[in-house]
């Protein structure tokens, strides 16, 4: 019997949100803001949500559907990378007076996209594996523990790998040691967000399971 992917409006909503978050954090993430005196990318608000979504999906539908999300996410980032390069390369119309600014803003996004697709793929694959591993070890219990254990390590992979690829030697200041110094508080912010979103994992799982029964 041929296996088909589950079809659910709620699953499609999560898929749309997942892809939207990936595109958003890649296009917008090159802006740095300050939270509690620590410099972080504005993408910090979106990255943890992608792990939240895949954990909810895996709890309800399993690893195979999460793999579909990851593959689609990688393809979306690659496609945006190609279109960003094309849009930067195309000559501006005489009426468009901000081409240099456009190139500066979106040109920097291209390196971020390369870093993102590598870090995203490896981190999400680890998260998928770790979530399944801890689910087996806990006999399907302690969702809060599985969610956090898988996410903490995955966020470390995502954070350090992304920042190294995206920012290493961008200027002389961005040495290995300097990037690690930047990455540690950034990672701790992500861990904090992962802890705070634990109730939303339970809510999301209950909401998606209800849609699965419908």
For 128, the token pair is 């998928």
pLDDT tens digits for range 103-117: 888 876 677 778 888
Q: What is the pLDDT of residue 1?
A: 44
Q: Structure pTM? A: 0.84
On whether the CB atoms of residues 163 and 190 are closer than 8 A, the answer is no
Question: Which one-letter DSSP state was computed for residue 6?
Answer: -
Q: Check residue 199 and give left, alpha or beta (phi > 0: left; psi -120 to 50: alpha).
A: alpha
Question: Which one-letter DSSP state was computed for residue 90?
Answer: S
Output the CA torsion 14→16→19→23 (10° steps): -130
For the domain made up of 9-213, give the CATH fold: Arp2/3 complex 21 kDa subunit ARPC3 (1.10.1760)
pLDDT tens digits for range 135-191: 989 998 889 888 888 989 998 998 899 888 888 887 788 898 988 988 888 888 888
């Amino acid at each position: 019997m041929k296996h088909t992917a589950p079809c659910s409006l709620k699953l499609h909503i999560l898929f749309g949100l997942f892809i939207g978050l990936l595109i958003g954090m890649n296009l917008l993430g090159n802006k740095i803001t300050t939270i509690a005196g620590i410099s972080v990318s504005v993408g910090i608000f979106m990255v943890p949500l992608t792990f939240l979504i895949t954990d909810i999906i895996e709890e309800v539908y399993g690893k195979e559907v999460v793999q579909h999300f990851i593959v689609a996410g990688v393809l979306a980032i690659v496609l945006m990378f190609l279109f960003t390069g094309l849009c930067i390369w195309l000559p501006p119309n005489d009426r468009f007076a901000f081409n240099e600014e456009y190139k500066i803003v979106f040109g920097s996004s291209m390196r971020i996209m390369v870093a993102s697709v590598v870090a995203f793929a490896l981190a999400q694959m680890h998260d998928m594996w770790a979530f399944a591993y801890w689910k087996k070890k806990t006999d399907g219990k302690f969702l809060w523990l599985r969610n956090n254990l898988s996410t903490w390590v995955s966020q470390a992979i995502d954070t350090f790998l992304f920042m190294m690829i995206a920012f290493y030697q961008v200027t002389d200041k961005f040495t290995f040691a300097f990037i690690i110094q930047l990455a540690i508080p950034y990672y701790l912010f992500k861990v904090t967000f992962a802890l705070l979103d634990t109730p939303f994992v339970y809510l999301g799982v209950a909401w998606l399971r209800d849609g699965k029964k419908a």
